[in-house]
Amino acid sequence: MVTLTEIPEGWPADEAGALAVQDELRGRVVLDEPGPPPGTGLVTGVDVAYDDERDVVAAAAVVLDAATLEVVAESTAVGRVAFPYVPGLLAFREIPTVLAALDALSTGPGLVVCDGYGLAHPRRFGLASHLGVLTGLPVIGVAKNPFTFAYEQPGTERGAASPLVAGPGEEVGRALRTQAGIKPVFVSVGHRVSLDNACAHVLSLTPRYRLPESTRRADALCREALRTALRPVQHPVA
DNA sequence: GCGACAG
DNA sequence: ATCTTGTCGC
């Protein structure tokens, strides 16, 4: 069964409204907790896929055992796209549907890993921070691109890292090499996790591929959920 | 001033 | 994000 997630009442209708929300929520981010220890407990990947033509977004949450990387639980949700794509306002596009997917899980999510950024954001309040503040969960962001931020190329070996900086002396995240000789990923803190711990989690989630297993699983699942949701219902014929 | 810019 | 065939490699 597929239910269409509602866009919450009071959801910002334009850029000015969204900026005001970020401004208000930014102060609630918690940055002084280390977060759950890497390699233990549960880790949940979240991701979304879009059909902009039909204004539909599908979200998936996949819970992994952090020690074995085996799937413990998963869920999906489908909704209307809640906001246009504006760099810096990505969270407003996907958060309602992501929250619905997290709510549908049969277990607590543990640490949440999302696509995109937390602190590494024009106003230091990216998707991972936003999701963290709304749920109270520990959240980190893992992005495939450095956005507008600068970094020095980390060493070529797996585990090598270098600061992702917004300006002289302001570290907003880390470029982390998860596979030897492969383009790094860009890790930033969302809520209630330290940057060191966030990077340790990401390394523990990348035994084989560039991107965390959590995101890879969530990516595959939300694409499938989108295909299913867009497939026209089959009426039985007599 | 203009364009680019996580997904 | 998404549009998209074949192809090189383990």
Which residues of the protein are close to the nucleic strand C, CB under 7 angstroms? A 49-50, 52, 115, 144, 223, 226
* Calpha distance A28→A133 (Å, rounded): 6
- C-alpha triplet A79, A83, A89: angle, nearest 5°: 125
Beta-bridge partners for A71: A64
Q: Is residue A29 part of a domain?
A: no
Q: What is the arithmetic mean of pLDDT over A143-149?
A: 92
| Distance CA A9 to C1' B2 in A | 36
Of A165, A206, A166, residue with least CA distance to A184: A206
Residue A236 banded pLDDT, cuts 50, 70, 90 = low
Provide the domain limits for residue A149: 35-230
**Predicted local confidence at residue A88, as pLDDT:** 95
Q: Domain total for chain A? A: 1
CATH of the domain at A40: 3.30.2170.10
| Distance CA A116 to C1' B6 in A | 5
- The tokens for A195 are 């940057």
CA–centroid distance for A6 within its chain: 20
In chain C, which nucleotides are within 7 Å of a protein Cβ? 1-2
| Distance CA A235 to C1' B6 in A | 41
Q: State chain A's mean pLDDT as an integer.
A: 94
Find the helix or strand (DSSP H, E) in which A175 lies.
strand A170-176
